[in-house]
Amino acid sequence: MDIDQVRTFLAVAANGSFIEAASRLYITQSTVSARIQNLETYLHTRLFVRNRSGATLTSAGKRFMRHAKTLLLTMEQARHDVGLPGRYRASLTIGARIALWDAGFLPEWVGIMRTQLPDVSIRSEIGFEEDLMRRLIEGTMDIGLMYTPQHSPGLQVEYLFDETVILVGTNPNTSWPDENYVYVDWGPRFYAEHSNHFPELERPALLANIGWLAVQLVLKNGGSCFLPQRMAEPLVAKGKLFPIPNSPSFRLPTYAIYPTNMATGECQQALTLLRELATETIAH
Of 25, 24, 86, 13, the closest CA to residue 54 belongs to 13
Cα(257)–Cα(271) distance, integer angstroms: 10
8 A C-beta contact, residue 60 and residue 9: no
Task: State the span(s) of the chain assigned CATH 3.40.190.10.
Answer: 91-159+255-283, 162-252
Q: Is the pTM of this model over 0.75?
A: no
pLDDT (tens digit, 0 to 9) for every residue of the chain, 284 residues total?
788 898 899 889 888 899 988 988 889 999 999 999 999 999 999 999 988 878 999 999 999 988 887 787 777 666 666 655 556 677 889 999 999 998 788 999 999 999 999 988 898 999 988 888 888 877 778 899 999 898 888 889 999 999 999 999 999 888 888 889 999 999 888 999 999 999 988 888 999 999 999 999 999 999 999 999 989 999 999 999 999 998 999 999 999 999 887 656 888 999 999 999 998 876 66
What does the alpha-carbon distance between residue 168 and residue 242 come to, in Å, rounded to a whole number? 5
**CATH number corresponding to 91-159+255-283:** 3.40.190.10
Name the burial class of residue 132, with classes exposed (0-12), middle (13-18) and buried (19+) by CB atoms within 10 angstroms of its CB. Answer: buried
Paired with 145 in beta bridges are 96, 256
**CATH among 3.40.50.300, 3.40.50.1970, 1.10.10.10, 3.30.1490.20 for 3-81:** 1.10.10.10
Check if CATH label 3.40.190.10 holds for domain 162-252: yes
State the Cα–Cα distance between residues 90 and 226, nearest whole angstrom. 39
* Measured distance CA(259)–CA(139) in Å, rounded: 8
Distance CA 139, CA 147 (A): 20
Dist. CA 47–CA 1, nearest whole Å:
14
Alpha-carbon gap, residue 80 to 91, rounded angstroms: 9
Contact 135, 144 (CB under 8 A): yes
Spatial separation of the C-alpha atoms in residues 167 and 57, rounded to whole Å: 44
Distance (Å, rounded) from C-alpha 101 to C-alpha 105?
Answer: 6
Task: Supply the DSSP symbol for 35.
Answer: H
Domain with CATH 1.10.10.10 in the chain: 3-81
134 contacts 97 by C-beta, under 8 angstroms: no
Give dist(CA 219, CA 184) in Å, integer: 15
